[in-house]
A = this chain, B = another copy of it.
Amino acid sequence: MKPLRPSELMPSDKALVPFVSVDNMMQLIHHIGVEPMLRDLAAYIEDDFRRWELFDKTPRVASHSDVGVIELMPTSDGEAYGFKYVNGHPKNTREGLQTVTAFGLLADVYTGYPVLLTEMTMLTAMRTAATSAMAAKYLAPKGATTMAMIGNGAQAEFQSLAMKALVGIKTVKLYDIDPKATAKAARNLAGSGLTVISCTSAEEAIEGAQILTTCTADKANATILTDNMVGAGVHINAIGGDCPGKTELHPGIVARADMFVEYPEQTRIEGELQQMPADHPFTELWKVITGTAQGRRDARQVTLFDSVGFAIEDFSALRYVRDAIRGTDLYADLDLLADPDDPRDLFGMLQRSKG
């Protein structure tokens, strides 16, 4: 980045905010390695789930329009403050644009100064997969080796590699209503060390799988898994039901499974839980991680992680990136904060900048 001010007017270190671009993020992932970074992210997320109670948790601040939604997801642990900007515009795909774009910011609570601005589309894909795998560590049956991946869109490869890195999955069975999506995922996973089996039906994909991951893009209530498809002892990792009116599982499965959730207030309006009566039981995942609630109880139990994505996971990912870029050149310093020598002399700073 070229110097943005004459050197005698250079802002102080604190007035410069490290910025991680999309390209920087991709190079950071390559620098660390996809699987090691998924493991690291899961460790940061797990740390924050252990500290769940001290977080300032607020629901997303959403601005809805006829064609989509723009959301801010803020949270704080009392030391750092983070938020993610994310939009959701299903019609964008038809116009050659992304359905979801995201970026995030981390700030120091003590000074209020931002300390990191970063792309979060790649990072959200990584943190979503890391969260799924972290949950599966506690909930999947012991010795699980095979995952069915139903829905082979943008999350499919990240989910597969996270389950490999954290849970030890060796085989992934892919299925999508669009065979081109399955072919894309199979191609991308070639050489990953996973045995990849492309399937032509959901039934075929889930046969012999101990973990069933659903991540489909349908906006409406859909039934990706019907009740008779799910046998005893599996773990369901439901990623795709993540907004009001969008679910993936037959209510019979949801009723039969033991449900684990991130933030109940949000899951109730966005997750599979929206299909259930208000008194439907669930367990908060953070309680399993701290040991105050039980995860998987026995080998025949059906567990369901009803994942919708929560601000704390983004916060963990932001903390991780802040730490991971230290000592690298995978960021640029943005001159984002006005920083006069005398705080009362903002106008003098303006006058002196006249070239």
* A22→B65 contact, CB < 8 A: no
> Is the pair A353, B74 in contact by a Cβ cutoff of 8 Å?
no
Interface residues on A, range: 35 or more
Q: Which residue of B lies closest to A25 (CB)?
A: B338
Also in contact, A346 and B122, with CB within 8 A (given A58-B61, A63-B76) = yes
Specify the chain B residue showing the minimal Cβ separation from A178. B344
- Known contacts A23-B353, A154-B346: A101-B121 contact under CB 8 Å: no
B-side contacts of A184, CB under 8 Å? 342, 344-345, 348
Given contacts A1-B1, A29-B350, contact A338 B111 (CB under 8 A): no
Residues of A86-121 whose CB lies within 8 A of B: 87-89, 92-93, 95, 97-101, 103, 105, 107, 109-114, 119, 121
Q: Is B337 touching A22 in the complex (CB atoms < 8 A)?
A: yes
Residue of B nearest to A30 (CB): B354
| CB-based contact B5/A93 at 8 Å | no
A24 touches B (CB below 8 Å)? yes
Q: Is A2 a contact of B1 with CB atoms below 8 Å?
A: yes
Identify which of B112, B125, B188 contacts A348 (C-beta below 8 A).
B188
Does A15 sit at the interface, judged by CB under 8 A? yes
A242 contacts the other chain (CB 8 A): no
Question: B22, A11: Cβ atoms under 8 Å?
Answer: yes
Any B CB within 8 A of the CB of A278: no
Once the chains bind, are A74 and B98 in contact (CB under 8 Å)? Answer: no
Instruction: Report the Cα distance A112→B121, complex, angstroms.
Output: 13
CA distance A343 to B101 in the complex (A): 11
Any chain B CB within 8 A of the CB of A181? yes
Q: Does A168 contact B (CB under 8 A)?
A: no
Q: Name 6 interchain pairs, CB-CB below 8 A, sorted by A.
A: A61-B72, A61-B74, A63-B81, A65-B110, A88-B112, A154-B343
| Interface residue ranges, A against B (CB under 8 Å) | 1-2, 4-5, 9, 11, 14-15, 19, 21-24, 26-27, 29-30, 34, 56, 58, 61, 63, 65, 67-70, 72, 74, 76, 78, 81, 83, 85, 87-89, 92-93, 95, 97-101, 103, 105, 107, 109-114, 119, 121-122, 125, 152-154, 156-158, 181, 184-185, 187-188, 332, 334-340, 342-351, 353-355
- Given contacts A22-B337, A103-B114, A187-B348, 9 further A-B pairs with CB under 8 A are A11-B22, A23-B353, A26-B349, A27-B355, A65-B76, A68-B112, A87-B107, A121-B346, A122-B350
